[in-house]
Amino acid sequence: MPMIYKLLPMQTIISQVTTGAHTTLRLFSRQLNLSSLRFSSSKATLKPKSPPTKMVDYRLMHIIRDIPTLRTHRRNLLRSNLTVGLVPTMGALHEGHISLVRAAAAENARVFVSIYINPTQFGVSEDLSTYPQTWESDLAQLRALDAELAETPGMGRVDTVFAPSTKAMYPTLPPDSREDGVGSFVQITPVGGILEGKSRPVFFRGVATVCMKLFNLVQAERVYFGQKDVQQTVVIRRMVKDFHLDTQVMIVPTSREEDGLAMSSRNVYLGARRRAVGVVLSRALRAAEEAYVAGKRSRDEILAAAWNVANQVALEQDALAPEQRALFEVDYISLADPDTMEEIEAVDERKGAVLSGAVKMLPLEQIQPGEVLGQGGDVAPVRLIDNIPLEPR
């Protein structure tokens, strides 16, 4: 179709092309430099001297909610020889999630992001019903990233957001979160039962089960997980190996706030006071890492550095008045083998180790007038986790 450019107030001309199930917005970026246009007549109709210099392909992301559509779409990509990277999430996306999508786009032609709050990984008394949901913002972030990727040579695209219903994900029985609950589950032991698994007994069973479902559905060449949830990465790697799943598990470093707090969807529960004290965990782990870097290898020496920080902050908070303090409890601080997450007495420097920890930020005892509160009003405890890999030396 011949294109005639008329004098337009904008610098862009957008045409919409529909090809089968896929709608594509093509945006022809043009520097409308008047010297590159010639007037064809006194009617001021402009024609370009040369065709558009740059064509950027702004596809609309597929938003898929049902399994047959997902499978058909995946099959089409396979026929086109396009590789797929999967980023499983529970939504409430932040920079940490986006870094996973970016990593996936660097290594795959198409990225699928799943957004699904999986009920079976929440214990019966956990925050399933209040877990943050920010669907519009999630889509906006993914679209913005995709627009950026479209302009970056060599990068893949954010192709699909898979947001299934629970009925689709658990087709036979309603999901059951009780420890002795019934259903079809994947259980990875012993790693799923220690550390986080001790505090949250159904958590890794739920994670492994939903990831097995997602991996079966998406058939991705690569799956992307955050270092932030280190024990989860060990569980997933083990599952992929033991069940011969044909995918590669890729781990992306932890994204942090400026003061070191690991980004997390649950940080929205922290008002200003608990947020400020919540950085204690990353500070404690950082101190232990420094001990390792300084040459310490024994468990006692490395973990003492972490406990010194945690105890110091706890004492400072204890000394404050109830309307000023944010109390917390350390659930655990661990020095573990990176392949099994089992506790070790000393770091084998050829293998390295994982420092990890969890703290429970307790509800505020007294709220001050005008105080900046988190989602939910800082009345429920919030569990924060973090880790630092100690690299082999």
- Interface with ligand AMP by CB under 6 A: which range of 29-37, 97-105, 299-307, 338-346? 97-105
Please count the residues of this chain forming the interface with ligand AMP, following the rule CB under 6 A.
17
Which residues are 383's β-sheet partners? 360
If binding is defined by CB under 6 A, does position 73 make contact with ligand AMP? no
Quickly count: other Cβ atoms within 10 Å of residue 311's Cβ: 12
CB of 347 to ligand AMP, least distance (A): 24
User: 62, 94, 97, 244: which is the annotated catalytic residue?
Assistant: 97
Question: Does the protein bind ligand AMP through residue 275 (CB under 6 A)?
Answer: no
Single residue of 110, 213, 228, 273 touching ligand AMP by CB under 6 A? 228
Judged by CB under 6 A, does residue 282 bind ligand AMP? no
- Which of 305, 307, 311 lies closest to 288, judged by CA? 305
Contacts of 178 (CB under 8 A, 6+ apart): 124, 202
- When asked if residue 209 is in the footprint of ligand AMP (CB under 6 A), the reply is no
Terminal C-alpha separation, the chain: 62
Q: How far apart are CA 347 and CA 345, in angstroms?
A: 7
97 binds ligand AMP per the rule CB under 6 A: yes
What is the SS3 assignment for the chain? CCCCCCCCCCCEEEEEEEECCEEEEEEEECCCCHHHEEECCCCCCEEECCCCCEEEEEECCEEECCHHHHHHHHHHHHHCCCCEEEEEECCCCCHHHHHHHHHHHHHCCEEEEEECCCHHHCCCCCCCCCCCCCHHHHHHHHHHHHHHHHCCCCCCEEEEEECCCHHHHCCCCCCCCCCCCCCCCCCCCCHHHCCHHHHCCCHHHHHHHHHHHHHHHHCCCEEEEEHHHHHHHHHHHHHHHHCCCCCEEEEECCCECCCCCECCHHHHHCCHHHHHHHCHHHHHHHHHHHHHHCCCCEHHHHHHHHHHHHHHHHHHHHCCCCCCCCCEEEEEEEEECCCCCCECCECCCCCCEEEEEEEEECCCCCCCCCCCCCCCCCCCCEEEEEEEEECCC
- Using CB under 6 A as the binding rule, whether residue 223 contacts ligand AMP is answered as no
Q: Is 100 in the site for ligand AMP (CB under 6 A)?
A: yes
Least Å from the CB of residue 132 to ligand AMP: 10
Output the smallest distance, CB 3 to ligand AMP, in A: 43
- Give yes or no for residue 102 binding ligand AMP (CB under 6 A): no
Q: From the CB of 118, what's the least distance to ligand AMP, in Å?
A: 8
| 254 touches ligand AMP by CB under 6 A | yes
Q: Which of 27, 73, 96, 200 binds ligand AMP (CB under 6 A)?
A: 96
226 binds ligand AMP (CB under 6 A): yes
- Contact status: 303 vs ligand AMP (CB under 6 A): no
- Residue closer to ligand AMP, measured from CB, 222 or 228: 228
Per CB under 6 A, 374 contacts ligand AMP: no
**Candidates 93-101, 186-194, 291-299, 338-346; binding stretch for ligand AMP (CB under 6 A):** 93-101
Closest contact distance (angstroms) between CB of 262 and ligand AMP is 5
Residue nearest to ligand AMP (CB): 226
Residue 387 as a binder of ligand AMP (CB under 6 A): the answer is: no
Binding part of the chain for ligand AMP, among 250-258, 273-281, 304-312, 342-350 by CB under 6 A, reads 250-258
When the beta carbons of 169 and 314 are compared against ligand AMP, the nearer one is: 169
Q: Does 225 bind ligand AMP (CB under 6 A)?
A: yes
In which region does residue 244 sit, left (phi positive, over 0), alpha (psi from -120 to 50) or beta (all else)?
left
Residue 265 in contact with ligand AMP, rule: CB under 6 A: yes
**Catalytic-residue membership of 73:** no
Please tell me the distance from the alpha carbon of residue 374 to that of residue 372, in angstroms, as a whole number.
7
Q: Which of 32, 46, 56, 263 binds ligand AMP (CB under 6 A)?
A: 263
Residue 261 lies near ligand AMP (rule: CB under 6 A)? no
Judged by CB, which is closer to ligand AMP: 237, or 299? Answer: 237
Binding residues (CB under 6 A) for ligand AMP: these are 89-90, 96-97, 99-100, 225-226, 228-229, 252, 254-255, 262-265
Which residues participate in catalysis according to the annotation? Answer: 97
